[in-house]
Amino acid sequence: MKFGHTTIRNMNAPTLPTHDKALPLGKESAYPDRYDASLLYPISRSLGRNTIGVSAGRLPFIGWDLWRGYELSWLNLKGLPRTAILKAWVPATSPTIIESKSFKLYLNSLNNERFESVAQLQDRITADLQNAAQSSIKIEVITPDAFVNEPISEPARQSTCLDDQDIVIDDYEPNADLLAIASDNVVIESVFSRLLKSNCPVTGQPDWGSVHIEYRGRAIDHAALLRYIVSFRQHQGFHEQCVEQMFCDIAARCQPEQLSIYARYTRRGGMDINPWRATPGTPEPSLLRSAQQ
């Protein structure tokens, strides 16, 4: 939480290494007036995975984190500003994630940089992000002429919303024991909730989102699943870590044959983060952008 210019860190948040004193999140930062790739700040995925028993060498899931940056701007060679939307897919196999505020500051460092073409800009961003994430990254720069292809869309009608159930909830820290099986009948089901909320582990500020779960296996109890999703409400964790914990908890407790979890967090500081984790062989989800984002 923030009071004035002071940031108070939640004492229940995961402890970051001492070198994270350089972490820009939770601090006042001057916007850069020139290009600076060193602004990108990597954080090891192991910080979150160690707490849920996931080893980098044996990931139980596939997936990626889709970042969308809405404040991408640069200059052409004549000094005329250009603008676009950035999409960046960081694979779940990357050793690091990129801290969100550092990502924003990096994009703003491009504001006064001149590029001959969109392709040159894209190559520069790709190289910088790959260096920070220590992994190959897919990049798309969406220019205004293609904005029409970036519509807002909500879940398909065949997907069931969990949010209107008349149930009592009083657990606000993740607990896999909240999950339950409704029946031993094997089903293929798509459900979603717009009630996902977690908190930044550094600042304690709320992160809001929706979560889409598709699975094949024994029918999962809907009331239990909603209680579990809502239990993240006071949890301290980065977006990517929350989704990986959800995947591991549901996989262990409900043992579906196939599982896909796609969270779409709302925009903060001109960026939204959309982690997807799934059992190997699962088709990738549609890249929907919700009205909330």
Based on the residue annotation, tell me whether 161 is a catalytic residue of this protein.
Answer: no
Taking the C-alpha atoms of residue 263 and residue 106, their distance in angstroms, rounded to an integer, is: 24
Taking the C-alpha atoms of residue 108 and residue 134, their distance in angstroms, rounded to an integer, is: 22
**For residue 260, what are the CA distances in angstroms to 4, 285, 291?**
41, 8, 22
Catalytic residue among 200, 242, 248, 254: 200
Based on the residue annotation, tell me whether 248 is a catalytic residue of this protein.
Answer: no
Catalytic residue among 128, 207, 249, 272: 207
Taking the C-alpha atoms of residue 83 and residue 202, their distance in angstroms, rounded to an integer, is: 31
Active-site amino acid positions: 200, 207
